[in-house]
């Protein structure tokens, strides 16, 4: 147990956490509600910004040093939420740019961006700075959901 | 009359927005109409009359909403998300009773993070059409076809719903 902790601790230190998110990075969204999935497709509401934080929480899968580290983080997040992670939605970081180009004509500079936020967890990012009007939010969510692959757990 | 008694949703409702209908592909179109609020936002009891609903809506959609409401109060509240806007229930059911929606398959019904009730039809390869209804009659709708049309907008239950339905007909055919 101690070894696992030290390994995680030193592993984290060896990673440059300020490294900007690159377009090819794999992003994973934890899905805690089975109703967010239908016919092996992730529904748009999986990417609805949280009422509490105003953003969508994402993990950068390939930045974890091992699958074990990733699963440990998922378990920690699940415990914090008090709900089991039912599935994951996976997309490549540049999908955010594709969505912006596809349907985001209404976005202002700096809106709808993927930003690193490792305040609570390493290798964590937020899909942040959403437009305030709900129709635009829905359209962005639908366009992103269409580019997401379902990962069954 | 069947009365469905539910916990009080005592959250302050969002400020009413001007009744507008906006199509993303064709620019903005404002509709100015008198807004009549027919529902009391502080009501603790939502009254529905199942005999006025079709059997399909009564048996399936109504029970789906009821279960979502119960779940909303037990789970969403724990996660500090919004609970369902109760006054949206009769408006949502009224919309689904309109003849246009009788031609469609039953939608997936869910609760948005802001408490609005959402209906969604999910097609193949990311195609989706969705609308959500708020407690004060706001209707948000959005169509996304990866290889086709991408439209979204907002209207109100008090507005001429023919415009909303025309949008659906033109979008979905």
CA-to-CA distance for B132 and B116, rounded, in angstroms? Answer: 6
Q: Residues of B numbered 2-41 whose beta carbons fall under 8 angstroms of chain A's beta carbons: which are they?
A: 22, 24
Residues of B in contact with A145 (CB under 8 A): 126, 128
Among chain B residues, CA nearest to A36: B110
3-state secondary structure labels for all residues of chain A: CHHHHHHHHHHHHCCCCCCCCCCCCEEEEEECCHHHEECCEECHHHHCCCCCCCCEEEEEHHHCCCHHHHHHHHHHHHHHHCCCCCEEEEEECHHHHHHHHHHCCCCCCCCCEEEECCCCCCCEEEEECCCCCHHHHHHHHHHHHCCCEEEEC
**Contacts with B56 (C-beta within 8 Å, 6 or more apart), sequence order:** B102, B106
CA distance A16 to chain B (A): 32
Instruction: Encode pLDDT of A71-100 as tens digits.
Output: 999 999 999 988 899 999 999 999 999 999
Instruction: Encode pLDDT of A6-60 as tens digits.
Output: 555 555 544 445 789 999 999 999 999 888 999 899 999 999 999 889 999 999 9
CA-to-CA distance for A19 and B121, rounded, in angstroms? Answer: 39
State the DSSP H helix or E strand holding residue B161, giving kind and residue range, or none if neither: helix B161-172
**pLDDT, position B14:** 30
**pLDDT, position B157:** 86
Residues of B in contact with A49 (CB under 8 A): 113
Does A103 sit within 8 Å of B144, measured CB to CB? yes
pLDDT in tens, chain B (173 residues): 233 333 333 333 333 322 222 223 332 222 222 222 333 333 333 444 434 445 445 556 666 766 666 665 555 555 555 567 777 887 888 888 888 877 778 888 888 888 899 999 888 888 899 999 998 899 999 999 898 888 888 988 888 787 788 777 766 65
**pLDDT, position B17:** 29
Among chain A residues, CA nearest to B155: A135
**pLDDT, position A6:** 53
Tokens 């994951």 sit on residue: A88
Asked if the model's pLDDT at residue A110 lies above 80, the reply is: yes
Residues of A in contact with B22 (CB under 8 A): 135
What is the DSSP-derived secondary structure letter of residue B92? H
Residues of B in contact with A134 (CB under 8 A): 114, 132, 140, 154
Among chain B residues, CA nearest to A145: B126
**Contacts with B73 (C-beta within 8 Å, 6 or more apart), sequence order:** B7, B83, B84
Residue whose C-alpha is closest to residue A28's, from A97, A104, A114, A113: A114
Instruction: Encode pLDDT of B91-133 as tens digits.
Output: 888 888 888 877 778 888 888 888 899 999 888 888 899 999 9
């Amino acid at each position: 147990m101690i070894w696992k902790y030290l390994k995680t601790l030193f592993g984290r230190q060896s990673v440059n956490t300020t490294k900007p998110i690159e377009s090819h990075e794999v992003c994973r969204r934890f899905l805690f509600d089975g109703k967010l999935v239908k016919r092996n497709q992730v529904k748009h509401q999986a990417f609805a910004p949280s009422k509490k934080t105003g953003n969508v929480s994402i993990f950068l899968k390939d930045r974890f040093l091992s699958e074990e580290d990733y699963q440990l983080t998922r378990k920690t997040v699940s415990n914090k939420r008090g709900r089991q992670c039912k599935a994951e939605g996976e997309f490549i970081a540049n999908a955010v740019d594709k969505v912006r180009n596809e349907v985001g004509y209404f976005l202002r500079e700096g809106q709808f961006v993927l930003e690193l936020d490792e305040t609570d967890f390493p290798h964590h990012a937020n899909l942040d700075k959403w437009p305030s009007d709900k129709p635009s939010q829905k359209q962005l969510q639908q366009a992103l959901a269409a580019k997401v692959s379902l990962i069954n757990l | 009359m069947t009365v469905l008694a539910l916990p009080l949703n005592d959250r302050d409702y969002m400020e009413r927005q001007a009744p507008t209908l906006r199509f993303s592909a064709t620019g903005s179109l404002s509709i100015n109409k008198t807004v009549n609020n027919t529902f009391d936002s502080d009501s603790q009891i939502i009254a529905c009359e199942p005999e006025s609903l079709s059997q399909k809506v009564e048996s399936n959609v109504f029970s789906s909403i009821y279960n979502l409401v119960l779940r909303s109060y037990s789970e969403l509240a724990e996660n500090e998300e919004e609970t369902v806007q109760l006054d949206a229930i009769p408006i949502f059911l009224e919309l689904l009773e309109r003849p246009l929606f009788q031609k469609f398959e039953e939608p997936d019904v869910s609760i948005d993070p802001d408490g609005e009730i959402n209906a969604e039809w999910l097609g193949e390869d990311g195609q989706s059409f969705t609308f959500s209804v708020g407690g004060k009659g706001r209707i948000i709708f959005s169509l996304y076809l990866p290889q086709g049309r991408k439209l979204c907008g907002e209207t109100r239950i008090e507005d001429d719903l023919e415009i909303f339905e025309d949008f659906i007909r033109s979008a979905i055919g």
